[in-house]
Amino acid sequence: MGGFSRQGNEEERAIIDLNKVAEAALLLAGNLIKRSTHHFTFEPAPSPVLLWADFHRIEQVLLNLITNACQALTSSEQALRVSVRCNLSTGAQLEVRDGGVGIAQADLARVFDPFFTTKRSTGGTGLGLAISQQIVAAHGGQLVLESVAGEGTRALLTLPLPPKGASV
């Protein structure tokens, strides 16, 4: 694994609630969200979604996804939605969906490549998604982006649930 970010150690992991991670990231991104859209929705899971994970690293991933989504919005009338859900067969899922400019198909295949960015002129380094993918992989999860240019992007973060019978 590359060294773009300090990887979470077992000592940094604890039982966390994915709803609480989302709330913390949304608090940090609150001003950016308010400046970017008048149509923001947060849909937490109806009950806690408990994971064995590093709270701050997962928060960092979500903050990056929200920032990217806000930067993709070209009008405050475009929507942004963050949702948390738990699926016993697929795991804990956190989705960030925007109605922004979307990602060209040619670029979509490269978005997780370190230093690849379409935002260099506005200060993008191309490390946000590469680091996010490293963090998610270190947690045994998956980060998938789906996008249609001109229509928006859906980022889906899936993390494994603790084994059945594990004390959480």
Is the confidence at residue 30, as pLDDT, over 50? yes
Tell me how far apart the alpha carbons of residues 51 and 85 are, in angstroms, rounded to a whole number. Answer: 12
CA-atom Rg of the chain in angstroms = 16
Please give the mean pLDDT across all residues of the chain: 86
- Tell me if 164 is assigned to some domain: no
Is the confidence at residue 120, as pLDDT, over 50? no
Confidence of residue 104 (pLDDT cuts 50, 70, 90): confident
Task: Return the exposure string of 84-108: e unless at least 16 CB atoms fall within 10 Å of the residue's CB, then b.
Answer: bbbeeeebbbbbbbbbbbbbeeeeb
Confidence of residue 122 (pLDDT cuts 50, 70, 90): low
Is the confidence at residue 121, as pLDDT, over 90? no
Could you tell me the CATH number of the domain that includes residue 130? Answer: 3.30.565.10
- Tell me if 102 is assigned to some domain: no
Domain range holding 59?
Answer: 12-91+108-159
CB 70 within 8 A of CB 36: yes
- Tell me if 166 is assigned to some domain: no
**Amino acid, single-letter form, for residue 32:** L
Q: What is the pTM of this model?
A: 0.85
CB 19 within 8 A of CB 44: yes
Q: What is the pLDDT of residues 54-80, one digit of tens each?
A: 999 999 999 999 999 999 999 999 999
pLDDT reported for residue 97: 97
pLDDT reported for residue 78: 97
Count of structural domains, the chain = 1
pLDDT reported for residue 168: 53
Is the confidence at residue 4, as pLDDT, over 60? no
Burial of 165 (0-12, 13-18, 19+ CB in 10 A): exposed
Q: What is the pLDDT of residues 128-164, one digit of tens each?
A: 788 999 999 999 999 999 999 889 999 999 999 987 6
CB 118 within 8 A of CB 111: no
Burial of 145 (0-12, 13-18, 19+ CB in 10 A): middle
Confidence of residue 109 (pLDDT cuts 50, 70, 90): confident
**Amino acid, single-letter form, for residue 70:** C
Is the confidence at residue 5, as pLDDT, over 60? no
Tell me how far apart the alpha carbons of residues 16 and 148 are, in angstroms, rounded to a whole number. Answer: 33
